[in-house]
Amino acid sequence: MGELISRTTSDILLDMLIEQNGKPLSGEEAALRLGLSRVSVWKAVQKLRSEGYDIEGGKNKGYVLKSSSDVLNAFFIEKNLSRLAESVCGSKIEVFKTIDSTNTEAKRRLNSSNNAESLHGTLLFAEHQTAGRGRFSRNFYSPEGAGLYFSLIFCPYLPAKNKKEAPDPSLYTAISAVVICRCLQELAFAPKIKWVNDIYLNGKKICGILSEGIIDMETSSVQAVIIGIGLNVKESNFPPELKNKAGALFSETFSLSGKECIPFKETSSFSRNALASSIISSLIEALYGLQSKEKLMEEYKGLSLLTGKNVRVLPFTGAPYEALVLGISDLGHLIIENEEGKKGELISGEVSLEFES
């Protein structure tokens, strides 16, 4: 289970500072609104500073929350959601300081609930995961404060009720990958998608997506889908087995638009909260059928890291074999040609490139 960040005086003060949009909040006004003494307000400010929030000001100056503050905050995230995303996820966003896995927590909630629909739009974030999960039960390294680790609970039948042309749940992973790439492209990054669920930057994996369905045993229909996203934002001390495979948005080897390397501390305009809001807003629109499924899948094909490359196919059963990737189908399947020239489609499974061996 996770440790939920509860609403304290400092949390409420933080909301007030966010609402100021960079304008100073006087200690006197804060004290009046909180019904506390100026000393209590000062202590709450000190607590926020100790948690990583960059707050300027002091006696007789007023307090200003700097945009460089990069601590995950539910109020911050909700404030920047699109109108549709806010209507779906509003007041259902939670941030955990630490948790085993946001996907595992989402699954716990769905399994203990008689009404999946009531959990629709729930967003669970974590600053740190002790047992982050990827495909095939692999671990996903999730160090504190270095990434965006979150899970969305989504009930596929709800958009259908609204008579929208919602995509099939089998495409959720592909759609999520495209949405994340779009949001990163807006920040001048050039990501690629490695079929089926990984996002790469400069030859290294920076993001993994894990979609898990909850099946209604009576109707055999998908009752809810948990979409888990793990995105490495800041360079961290990766374990030895990941050093050559894993990367992050901001790292010593990263060059933005041909410029010199930009360490994270110098990118003060970047905010994990803002990126989270951007991804969620776009993802909700796509899942509700407000973005063209055809266009999303065309982008998925165009962003493929594997097309035209020789890969090693690792099937669930049978021996691995070499194949050439010809492209990706409209259903998100990998189109391959084996060494004998026989063509086929991979619906699931795994492939690896030489640089991953």
Phi and psi angles of residue 104, each rounded to the nearest 5 degrees, phi first: -65, -40
Give the separation between CA 59 and CA 283, rounded to whole angstroms. 43
- The domains of the chain are located at 3-65, 74-302, 310-356
Domains 3-65 and 74-302 share a fold: no
CB atoms within 10 A of CB 188: 9
User: Rounded distance, CA 300 to CA 196, Å?
Assistant: 10
Question: Quick one: pLDDT at residue 3?
Answer: 46
**pLDDT by 10s per residue, the chain, length 357:** 444 444 688 889 988 898 887 889 999 999 999 999 999 999 999 999 988 888 998 667 899 988 667 789 898 899 899 999 999 999 999 999 899 999 999 999 999 998 999 999 999 999 988 877 766 556 676 667 789 999 999 999 888 776 667 899 999 999 999 999 999 999 999 999 999 899 999 999 999 999 999 887 777 888 999 999 999 998 877 777 777 888 999 875 444 444 434 444 444 467 899 999 999 999 999 999 999 999 999 999 999 999 999 999 988 788 899 999 999 999 999 999 999 999 999 998 889 886 443
Fold topology of 310-356:
SH3 type barrels. (2.30.30)
DSSP string, 46-64: HHHHHTT--EE--TTT-BE
Looking at residue 77, the DSSP 8-state letter turns out to be H
Q: Position 155: which residue type?
A: C
Tell me which of 3.30.930.10, 3.90.1150.10, 3.40.50.10090, 2.60.120.10 is the CATH number of domain 74-302: 3.30.930.10
- 3.40.50.300, 1.10.10.10, 3.30.470.20, 1.10.10.60: which CATH number matches 3-65? 1.10.10.10
Please state, in angstroms and rounded to a whole number, the distance separating the CA atoms of residues 29 and 311.
63
**For the chain, what is the total number of helices (H) and then of strands (E)?**
10, 15
- What does pTM read for this prediction? 0.84
